[in-house]
Structure 1
Amino acid sequence: MIRNIVVVVLLFTSLAFMGQRSSSSPYSYFGIGDEFTANTVEQSSMGGIGVAFSHYKYLNFTNPAAYGNLRYTTYGFGLLNNDLTIKTGDDKQSSTSTSLSYIALAFPIGKSAGFSFGLQPISTVGYSLSNSSQDADGNTTEISLFEGNGGVNRFHAAFGIKVYKGLSLGIEGDYNFGNIENSITNQIADVSLATKYREKTEIDGLSLKIGAQYEHKLKNNLIVNAGASVKLGNDIDVKGESLTYSLTLTNTGGEFVRDTLADQNGDKLTAIDGAFKLPINTIIGVGVGELDKWYAGVEYENQDAITTSGLLANTNGAYRYGSSNRISLGGFYLPKINSISSYWNRVTYRAGFSYKNTGLLVDGSGNNSNFTDIKDFGISFGLGIPLKQLSTVNMGFEFGKRGTTDNNLIEENYFNFRLSLSLTDNWFVKRKID
């Protein structure tokens, strides 16, 4: 009963967090925003690996085939706190944001299958940038303010099953949904009215992932794992409208709207209708370890360039997409799972690193001809602190750098603290004593 109450509380708490800004990154300006990797806290603490790894009580957002080994019902709830320092030339600025990482439930079906579903953000928009121009005397002649908020979430459902000895197969379906608002406010010196361009869009789309895992036990208690997942190509539809209007700005940042401006056709609202076309995403990995003792693995992810269609095809002059790839290495060590003499021997210690070419290319020159790859490197570690029975509190720490100050761009140094509660229980078991 207590566990059911906890799950209900976590569900309503997660809905509250869905409405909060969860990014302060200027790179969230591009595309559908600052994209999250779909990992649990346990996976993130190991550099993001998970395609080859499966366990009888852990969630796995990388490979649905892992649920073929699930033996316990697991509730998962994760939070992310992001401390971000932005550097451009000699200037620095820091910010902090907190957001929901995921809420999910997984349970076994018989002795050789498992099912999971949950809610998780996949991208977020949350930026506020300003740009000013000065004359020869250093007086400000023009100020532009760029702001955005919103994001995209996914509801996912996954099924995995053992089909032959150590071979498991899985399938996952996602429904992606969300909304994003972007605006540009421009004020020219000695002009009484400012102008603002604002666009609001709604986003939705479906996606499908298939996965496979193979596990082979050696004579010396070692277990060798291999895994692969393929997310099929899909479209994320973007629909909405934009408008431009004049306004008066107050000293406290307030707005008094004066008039909505019409375009050359006399329309005050302009329809936005397009799509991001996501190509096939492939992840492969291998690992070796001993059950509930230690594990080490490596995985590689690759995806071709994202393309756009409809009206979106003409709106990305300042950026474009190239192929993306990632390599991650990580693992865990558990001294003694049933230790009586030392509590810390029952703690799981995790570590890893990840290097990623995000696939985003940004032009900092302003002439749409000099594009720079945005890359990301992170080092992570974490703890799995045992509670009663098989439940755990998981903490993850990640230090990393994204972007560069070259080509008039922005370098981000980040520290991510992740926290999750993993409640593990038995379902569908007949009680011997009422």
Structure 2
Amino acid sequence: MIKRYLVVILVFTSVITSAQRNNSSPYSFFGIGENFTPKTVEQASMGGIGVAMKDSQYLNFVNPAANADLRFATYSLGGVTSFLNLKETNRTQSGNSTSLSYISLGFPIGDKAGFIAGLQPSSSVGYALLNQTLDGNDVIELTRYTGDGGTNRLYASYGMYLFDGFSVGLEGAFIFGKTNNSTLNQRANVSLATKYKEETTIRGSEFKIGAQYKIKLKNKLEFSSGIAIKLSNDLIQRGNQQLYSLTFGGSGVEIPRDTLFLNSVRRTITNPLKTIAGFGIGKENKWYVGVNSEYQKALSFSDNFQQESTYKYENGLRTSIGGYYIPKINSISSYWDRVTYRAGLRMERTGLLVDGTGTGNNFTSINDFGINVGLGLPLPRQISSLNLGLEYGQKGTTNNNLIKENYFNVRLSLSLNSLNWFQKREID
């Protein structure tokens, strides 16, 4: 039954992932949106660790070298619902969004290699901001900022063992997507409003290499270490930008008037080399604790797309710690003894600097912090599982005229495993 519907599910969910708007963060206003770090629901529930983890039945999006440990054909589908509360100095606002996080298929190649392919979001734009200029109690100017879109990554990843305990991997991805951004300005006692609109497509590629090493210690303990390096890559953004005047019809419909300028856009966005390193210790199918550290230099742009008076970029840094515990994986008497219990936390300097005053002299680092817990629920008479992850986090600050996000994420994934998806049936 799983194999019968696998292709239909993959195509259907791929279309949804490409078309969805999956962000409501005001910080997606900057650059080409909020960047996502690829991770499964299982990894997210452990704070995002995974660079050193080895597992035979779960996919690993952090380190392609982990593919060498796949022993089951695995189809994995994950999604997230985010509940967001935004706080400024004197007011609050809330919202939510739901989206697919990934669709991936992995399978072993012999006893010492594995392959994964899939589709994931790479960045997202989704904001609606309103700025008012007051004269006493009267509004004399309104500016509305809106944006949507983002990029996805279609990727393939391969890992293999070079010798006992040591594996290497390579991942390649094609990045594609669209972004739409607009700024509408209207002043009191002025008949015409003005609107700036930019519509672009984004294309590019990226590559990641990785390595893992595991050794056995005393008392069935295992120590593992890993490193993954995402090479520097360029994204090409092309499209049009337009500034025009407009009026509003009786139902609020925009009626364009005069075009003030219409220009083509072509810019290069350079993502510097990113390094992820970590280690972990545990007992197979019992418990594991790991630490990840991720570092990346500042993003750069080929033109004045980066508004130096409003925002700029610095080096990014993320530290994650987490793990799992399984009371008794082969328990017959208790279902809850077979459940995987996960937890973790992460601390991140996102690399984004924002000046809420607009003077260019008071930049503030946008930091992110999250606490995670999760469950891996085995399906009856299956080696597959349903995975639930919960995350509470805070991003940004109310200092310097900025916005603080308090968010709660509910993640859900289905990991379907089989030994015989790609084996030819034989009739005796």
Same fold, TM exceeding 0.5? Answer: yes
8 Å CA contact 2:397, 2:404 repeated in 1: yes
Given residue 127 of structure 1, which amino acid in structure 2 is its aligned partner?
Answer: Y
Distance 1:298 1:180 in 2: 35
Distance 1:423 1:249 in 2: 52
Distance 2:83 2:35 in 1: 16
Given residue 319 of structure 1, which amino acid in structure 2 is its aligned partner?
Answer: Y
Distance 1:127 1:287 in 2: 38
**SS of 1:3 mapped into structure 2:** helix
Task: Map 1:195-206; keep pairs closer than 5 Å.
Answer: 195-206=194-205
**SS of 1:367 mapped into structure 2:** coil
Query: How far off its partner does 1:309 sit?
Result: 1.0
Match of 1:55 in 2: 55
8 Å CA contact 2:17, 2:121 repeated in 1: no
Query: How far off its partner does 1:288 sit?
Result: 0.6
8 Å CA contact 1:350, 1:383 repeated in 2: yes
Match of 2:41 in 1: 41
Distance 1:311 1:271 in 2: 14
Give the counterpart of 2:411 among 381, 396, 418: 418
8 Å CA contact 1:152, 1:176 repeated in 2: yes
**SS of 1:28 mapped into structure 2:** helix
Q: Which moved more, 1:198-207 or 1:243-252?
A: 243-252
Match of 1:192 in 2: 191
**How many correspondences in the alignment?**
426
Query: How far off its partner does 1:249 sit?
Result: 2.5
8 Å CA contact 1:7, 1:75 repeated in 2: no
Q: Which moved more, 1:269-278 or 1:139-148?
A: 269-278
Task: Map 1:242-391; keep pairs closer than 5 Å.
Answer: 242-250=241-249, 252-262=251-261, 269-312=262-305, 315-387=307-379, 388-391=381-384
Distance 1:355 1:170 in 2: 27
Distance 1:26 1:190 in 2: 30
Query: How far off its partner does 1:311 sit?
Result: 4.9
Query: How far off its partner does 1:278 sit?
Result: 1.0
Query: How far off its partner does 1:280 sit?
Result: 0.7
**SS of 1:272 mapped into structure 2:** strand
Q: What does the per-residue CA deviation read over 1:26-50, in whole Å, with 9 as the maximum and x for residues that have no partner?
A: 1000011011121000000000000
Distance 1:207 1:351 in 2: 30
8 Å CA contact 1:398, 1:416 repeated in 2: yes
Task: Map 1:63-82; keep pairs closer than 5 Å.
Answer: 63-82=63-82
Distance 1:71 1:179 in 2: 37
Distance 1:419 1:104 in 2: 14
Task: Map 1:81-230; keep pairs closer than 5 Å.
Answer: 81-135=81-135, 137-230=136-229
Distance 1:251 1:16 in 2: 35
8 Å CA contact 1:274, 1:311 repeated in 2: no
Distance 1:177 1:410 in 2: 29
Query: How far off its partner does 1:253 sit?
Result: 4.1
Distance 1:285 1:200 in 2: 40
TM-score by length of structure 2 reads 0.97
Given residue 395 of structure 1, which amino acid in structure 2 is its aligned partner?
Answer: L
Match of 2:387 in 1: 394
**SS of 1:343 mapped into structure 2:** coil
Q: What does the per-residue CA deviation read over 1:262-313, in whole Å, with 9 as the maximum and x for residues that have no partner?
A: 3xxxxxx212111111111000000011111110000100011111114535
Unaligned runs of 5+ in 2: none
RMSD over aligned CA atoms reads 1.4
**SS of 2:32 mapped into structure 1:** coil
8 Å CA contact 2:309, 2:358 repeated in 1: no
Distance 1:91 1:339 in 2: 52
Query: How far off its partner does 1:3 sit?
Result: 3.0
**SS of 1:345 mapped into structure 2:** coil
Unaligned runs of 5+ in 1: 263-268
Distance 1:340 1:240 in 2: 60
Between the aligned residues of both structures, percent identity stands at 53
Match of 2:423 in 1: 429
Distance 2:309 2:177 in 1: 24
Given residue 158 of structure 2, which amino acid in structure 1 is its aligned partner?
Answer: F
**SS of 1:368 mapped into structure 2:** coil
Q: What does the per-residue CA deviation read over 1:348-399, in whole Å, with 9 as the maximum and x for residues that have no partner?
A: 1000000000000001111112110000000000000101321111010000
8 Å CA contact 1:354, 1:378 repeated in 2: yes
8 Å CA contact 1:273, 1:312 repeated in 2: no
TM-score by length of structure 1 reads 0.95
Distance 2:199 2:28 in 1: 15
Query: How far off its partner does 1:431 sit?
Result: 3.8
Q: What does the per-residue CA deviation read over 1:46-105, in whole Å, with 9 as the maximum and x for residues that have no partner?
A: 000000001001111100000111111000100010100000012100001001100000
**SS of 1:48 mapped into structure 2:** coil
Distance 2:365 2:250 in 1: 39
Instruction: Sort the Cα spacing of 1:253 and 1:81 in 2 relative to 1 into closer, same or farther, 3 A.
Output: farther
Distance 2:422 2:144 in 1: 56
Distance 1:368 1:249 in 2: 34
Q: What does the per-residue CA deviation read over 1:295-338, in whole Å, with 9 as the maximum and x for residues that have no partner?
A: 0000100011111114535x453110000001100000011111
Distance 2:111 2:117 in 1: 19
